[in-house]
Amino acid sequence: SVIRSGMRSGYINPSASTNGTFGPGDPVTLAQLAKVAHKIANIDESIYHEEPRNSRARGTWFADFYASAESRYWAVYRDPMDAPERPATRSEVVCTLLQALDVPRLWPKGNTFSDVTPITPYADCIETAATDGLITGDQTSRTFGPERPVNRAELAKMLVTASELYGERTKE
């Protein structure tokens, strides 16, 4: 579903063609997350003609996505010293998707997951996503794992669910 809609793609060869692999267990990077968030929300990243503030994003395939995310003040992209190719955490993915889709957030109470308190970074996004049904966490332990990295399969599931919950904003 996410490949057909254009929100995700498999890995690309240097010749810009797909190499036939998706890598479901591979971690999602902040750079990849920026691209996916733009795709799900149908945001044109090319309208910002500025270099990213993050010097590590300049001159890369994701420079336009990163500059656009920074200019929109998405929380995850505020630190110009962060490494764009580091794995994105579960909380960062949830927050970025909610911001890209302009989903109003709830005030965090700290009673949804045992490992998410009101002062956990992005707690408002995590609790909103859980209330809306975007995420479920581990039902047995009532945990979310906000600092755990997200893999490509998990992100694909979140994208499909977000499209269903927050309105069809994809090309398909």
Using an 8 Å Cβ cutoff, are 23 and 8 in contact? no
* pLDDT of res. 10: 55
Q: How far apart are CA 146 and CA 165, in angstroms?
A: 21
* pLDDT of res. 84: 98
* pLDDT of res. 36: 94
Confidence of residue 172 (pLDDT cuts 50, 70, 90): very low
Query: Looking at the predicted structure, is the pLDDT value of residue 42 above 70?
Result: yes
Nearest to 131 by CA among 107, 149, 150: 107
Nearest to 68 by CA among 88, 93, 39: 39
Nearest to 113 by CA among 147, 86, 65: 147
Q: Mapping DSSP to helix (H, G, I), strand (E, B) and coil, where does residue 149 land?
A: strand
Q: Token pair of 163, please? A: 């499209």
Using an 8 Å Cβ cutoff, are 21 and 153 in contact? no
* pLDDT of res. 167: 78
> Stretch 59-77: mean pLDDT, rounded?
97
Per-residue pLDDT reduced to its tens digit, 105-141: 999 999 999 999 999 999 999 999 999 999 999 989 9
Q: How far apart are CA 108 and CA 11, in angstroms?
A: 37
* pLDDT of res. 113: 97
| Torsion sign across C-alpha atoms 100, 147, 7, 165 | negative
Whose structure tokens read 């893999």? 151
Work out the number of other CB atoms within 10 angstroms of the CB of residue 143: 14
